[in-house]
Amino acid sequence: MIDHNEGIVGFFRGIGAFVGAVGWVASTPRLWLRASAPMATALVLVLAFGVLGFGAAMRLAHRAAGDGFGAEFLGVLLGFAAMVLAIVIGVSLAQPLSGWALEGIVRAQERELNLPPAAHPPWLAAMLGSLASAWLGLAVGVPIVLVLTLVAWAFPPAVLVTVPLKAVVAALVLAWDLIDYPLALHGVGVRARLAWCTHHFGALLGFGLAALVLFAVPGLGLLALPCGVAGAVRLVHASRYPWPSRSRAYYS
């Protein structure tokens, strides 16, 4: 269940974990080569999905509303949703595709925090597990973003509510994806991850929003993926959540 007593504290703990990881990666030159792989992968995927999605959004808007201000406004709404989805999908797919580099960053962060190292899972099994986790997050998040977009389309004043909700959904999906690697390396299954996310919802939201904000900064957004996995190690370790698995000693 959600721990309401640490809601606000957890929220800022999540932000702090991500910000701390950004500083650590930026000040550790030996990680820069590894960090460049997921950054490049995420850039290609986000740009590709973003261009395709925004173009499709504008075409759909003009077909539905013709020309004029109404069509442009609708196009911006749909385009914003397309860009949010591009970030979420791009990062979700970049994480398993550049797993070898992210695993090295996770292990380096664990050594920095004097944490016991995890076992080395088979590469193929780790990638397939990460893909499954990513698609689970997308299967939940993408339909919600689409529904919110349709609500704003049908009732434009609702944009005051739907836009912040889209950001929250995108942040939660990003956070779910970023915590995958440090937890998967320690044998934490999907059910245990869901339990952690529920128990530490505030921390997860703060962590995801910090990642989403960094992604929105031109030239710096690509740091969100390598910094995110390092921040996830910090966040989970700081939460001290007792896992019912073989990782109990590490997370308790």
Cα–Cα distance, 72 to 69 (Å, whole number): 5
The letter for the amino acid at 85 is L
Helices 190-199 and 123-154 meet at what angle, rounded to 10?
Answer: 50
Would you state the pLDDT for residue 252?
A: 38
**What's the mean pLDDT in 104-119?**
80
Q: How many CB atoms lie within 10 A of CB 156?
A: 14
Would you state the pLDDT for residue 21?
A: 92
Q: ∠ at Cα 230 (28, 27), nearest 5°?
A: 15
The structure's pTM equals 0.71
Phi-psi sector, 31: left (phi>0), alpha (psi -120 to 50), beta: alpha
**For residue range 180-221, what is the model confidence (pLDDT) as tens digits?**
777 776 667 778 788 888 888 899 999 999 988 887 776 666
In degrees rounded to 5, what are phi and psi of residue 119? -70, 165
- For the cut 60, the answer to whether the pLDDT of residue 110 exceeds it is yes
**What's the mean pLDDT in 103-115?**
85
* CB 196, CB 189: distance < 8 Å: no
Q: How many CB atoms lie within 10 A of CB 62?
A: 15
Cα–Cα distance, 174 to 18 (Å, whole number): 12
